[in-house]
Amino acid sequence: MDPPSDYDLAVHARRGDAEAFGELVRRYQTSVFNVCYRMMGNRQEAEDMSQEAFIRAYSRLATYDTERPFGPWIRRVAANFCLNRLASKAPINMPLMDEHETVHTPHERNLELATETAERARAIRHAMADLPPHYLAVIELRHFQELSYNEISYTMGISLSQVKSYLFRARKLLGEALKEHE
């Protein structure tokens, strides 16, 4: 028997079936966790935020269009949730859990290349952690969720010109931070 589709699970979850929603969580938890990790910069906080994002998404299932894929929707919910959390608290430099970058490249034959890749990832994460919340959000939505300017504008509730402005400034700050790191 084929596993239930995301559509079926979402429909059941909407009717209050927590177990059906649990299956959706199992399917998308890694990608949602990575959204939270990129935005929060801290592994433990990212796990907590992922859980809360899913719980929040459950209560907002009525706003989910079941004709569209579930993954992009839940990732957008998570990004918005992280943005709200970041915007509501004073800037804190979170310690980054660097060891996971190296854990993620076990298949790299060239150890030197693996180290370089991990080092670059670490540098990007450090640079992203220093971005203002709204800049970080547009980077997340554009580069990692591949939304268009219009979609970012709609998702974040900001104007198109703000999207462009935030995106350009964020990239400039990232470029400068990475240059300093070199």
Partner 1 sequence: MNEPAHLTDDVLNEYLDEALSGELRATADNHLRACMTCTGRLAKLSELFSMLNGLPEVPLERDISPHVVDSLKSRTRAETASLSNPAVRLGVVLAVEVVGALALIGLVWPEALDWVSKAAGANAMGPFTALLDEAARISYSLSVGQPFEALLSSLRAPSIPWASASALVTLLGTAAVAWLVSNGILLRAQRPTSDRSNR
Q: How far is Cα 17 from Cα 23, in angstroms, rounded to an integer?
A: 10
- The number of CA neighbours under 13 Å toward the Cβ of 153 is 10
Q: Judged by CB under 8 A, does residue 14 bind partner 1?
A: no
Nearer CB in complex with partner 1: 115/164? 164
**Residue in 21, 73, 81, 166 binding partner 1, rule: CB under 8 A:** 21
Nearer CB in complex with partner 1: 11/124? 124
Number of residues that bind partner 1 (CB under 8 A): 46
- Candidate ranges 1-9, 63-71, 77-85, 113-121; the one touching partner 1 (CB under 8 A): 113-121
**Residue in 39, 77, 82, 139 binding partner 1, rule: CB under 8 A:** 139
3-state percent helix, strand, coil for the chain, nearest multiple of 5: 75, 0, 25
Find out whether 171 and 117 touch, Cβ atoms under 8 Å: no
Q: Judged by CB under 8 A, does residue 95 bind partner 1?
A: no
Q: How far is Cα 20 from Cα 178, in angstroms, rounded to an integer?
A: 43
* Alpha-carbon separation of residue 114 from 90, 121, 124, 177 (angstroms): 35, 11, 15, 22
**Binding stretches for partner 1 (CB under 8 A):** 16, 18-19, 21-23, 25-26, 29-31, 33-34, 37-38, 43, 47, 50-51, 54-55, 58, 100-101, 103-105, 117, 120-121, 124-125, 139, 142-144, 148-149, 164, 167-168, 171-172, 174-175, 178
